[in-house]
Amino acid sequence: MPPEAAMDFAAQGLPHQEERVRRLNERYRHHAATAVLEGALRDPDAGKIAMVSSFGAESVALLHLVSMVDPETPILFIDTEMLFAETLEYQMELTERLRLKNLRVIRAADQDLEAEDPDGTLHQFNTDACCDLRKTRPLQRALGEFDGWITGRKRFQGSTRATLEFFEADGPHRIKVNPLAHWTPEDVRNYMDENRLPRHPLVAKGYPSIGCAPCTSPVKPGEDPRAGRWRGEDKNECGIHFVDGKMVKGDAS
């Protein structure tokens, strides 16, 4: 984005944020995922954008799209240091195969880990606190230089995502971009097949949604794809998609 087109979104406050999201959704409402992604990376209303990827079960589809549109896009990968070994290997494989040129691995600060989870057992008795320590706060720090971020969320992934739009407010100063919001499971599979993209190795073992190893279990046929995340708890989101403790479900318009 040219410097003269840049906007000081933080100085505008929430009312401008709502208008910004409304304009973007109206502008790209009938566009396909690639056009939405191109718009997010080039539209002055979107600002400076990064992609956040878990390198999970379906991540390769959006990572491939980003690599085709702009391989210099910053890719933020949160290493909680509790991920499956297969996820770390998959991340390295995709980064090389897709020629992603700006991967940024982010982790919790050492001093925070020492103070809040010195023995690595926090997840056993407070999963919300563990997610906040190892995912939410590191991501918020990394996003400090950006006006928005691209996610791979889709409407079919659960009730909390059923009303997703392409663009949504993420607090008063940032937006989230969901280029694949309207994709179905078949769309994802077809895209991966057509482009011969490698699957996460755990998908074949019954993991349609993959998070940290201690908090992710296989899913039985017929279960919600995210049923294996924090199984047995009243929890289905890690917290990175919350603002002021509330789930962001759609745009502000």
Tell me the catalytic residues.
238
CA–CA distance, 239 with 233 (Å, rounded to integer): 14
Which positions ≥6 away from 229 have C-beta within 8 Å? Answer: 209, 211, 215, 216, 235, 236
Please report the sign of the dihedral spanned by the C-alpha atoms of residue 80, residue 81, residue 85, residue 91.
positive
> Cα(first)–Cα(last) distance of the chain, in Å?
25
Which positions ≥6 away from 96 have C-beta within 8 Å? Answer: none
What are the contacts of 127-131 at 24+ separation with CB within 8 A?
127/215, 127/230, 127/233, 127/235, 128/235, 128/239, 131/238, 131/239, 131/240
Which positions ≥6 away from 222 have C-beta within 8 Å? Answer: none
77 DSSP 8-state letter: E
Q: Are strands 242-243 and 246-247 parallel, antiparallel or unpaired?
A: antiparallel
Distances (CA, A) of 53 to 37, 57, 164, 203, 209: 14, 11, 18, 17, 13
CA–CA distance, 138 with 108 (Å, rounded to integer): 5
